[in-house]
Amino acid sequence: MKKIVFATNNAHKLQEVRAILGPEWELTTLREAGITEEIPENEPTIEGNALAKARYVWERTGLDCFADDTGLEVDALGGAPGVHSARYATDGHDFAANRAKLLAEMEGKSDRKARFLTVVALIEGGVEHCFEGVVEGTITTSEMGEGGFGYDPLFIPEGYTQTFAEIAPEEKNAISHRGRAIVKLAEWFRQ
C-alpha cells in the first residue's frame, strides 16, 4: 500500500485519480492532512502551480504528496483559458460560467483545436518530480453530455465523436491528460 497526500480540493479529480491508481494506493486528502484553507495558485504556468500546491503541503506537513494542475489550451484563443482555466469567467470555480464564456469566445471560429494539459508535481522525501499528460481534441459548439466535470461537455478528444462528458469515466481516464500524467507517476514509483 502506497500512502500519499493528494493536494486537491477538487472532488472530481480525487475520484478520477483514485480510479486510475487503484486499491494499492491510499490517497490522503488535504483535510485529512490538516489543510483546510485554499492553497494559493498564483504562478504563471501550469507546472509552476502544480509545484506550488505540492510545496505548500510538503512545507506544512512533511508528508510525501502530489498535486495536479490542469489547463485547457484553445488555439483560436491564443492558448486561453490555459493556466486561468479554473477562474476563466469568475474568480471562483464556476464550471457552468466558464463553459458559457468559452462557447461565447469561440462563436464563429472555425479553428476548434484545443488540448488539456495536466502537470502532476510529486514531492517524495523532499525531492521534486513533474509528470505531464496531454490530450488533443476539439471544442464543440454546444454542451454535450452530463458526465465528467469542468469543460468536459465541450471537449471531444481526438479520434472520438463524443465529448469527455458523454464517454464512460473509465474511457476518459484511459486517454485523458490526467490519466496519462498519473500513469507516469505510478510508473516512476514502480521503477
Residue type at position 75: D
Which residues have CB under 8 Å from 13's CB, separation 6+? Answer: 6, 68, 70, 178
**Least distance between ligand ITT and beta carbon 69 (Å):** 5
Catalytic residue among 68, 69, 75, 91: 69
Is residue 178 at the binding interface for ligand ITT, with CB under 6 A as the rule?
yes
**Least distance between ligand ITT and beta carbon 26 (Å):** 18
Region 68-97 residues binding ligand ITT, contact defined as CB under 6 A: 68-70, 85-86, 93, 95
Q: If binding means CB under 6 A, how many residues of this protein chain bind ligand ITT? A: 21
Stretch that binds ligand ITT, among 103-111, 122-130, 136-144, 149-157 (CB under 6 A): 149-157
Strand pairing class (65-74; 2-6): parallel
Helix axes 177-190, 11-21, angle to 10 degrees: 50
∠ CA(58), CA(64), CA(66), 5° rounding?
Answer: 80
Contact yes or no for 62/56 (Cβ under 8 A): no
Contact yes or no for 34/9 (Cβ under 8 A): no
**Least distance between ligand ITT and beta carbon 94 (Å):** 9
Is residue 56 at the binding interface for ligand ITT, with CB under 6 A as the rule?
no
The CB-nearest residue to ligand ITT is: 150
Region 106-145 residues binding ligand ITT, contact defined as CB under 6 A: none
Select 69 or 166, whichever has its Cβ closest to ligand ITT. Answer: 69
CA distance 183 to 173: 10
Is residue 9 at the binding interface for ligand ITT, with CB under 6 A as the rule?
yes
**Least distance between ligand ITT and beta carbon 133 (Å):** 10
Which residues have CB under 8 Å from 134's CB, separation 6+? Answer: 115, 116, 117, 118, 177, 180
Residue 69 is a catalytic residue: yes
Q: Report, as residue numbers or ranges, the catalytic residues.
A: 69
Task: List interacting residues with ligand ITT (CB under 6 A).
Answer: 8-10, 13, 41, 68-70, 85-86, 93, 95, 98, 148-152, 164, 176, 178
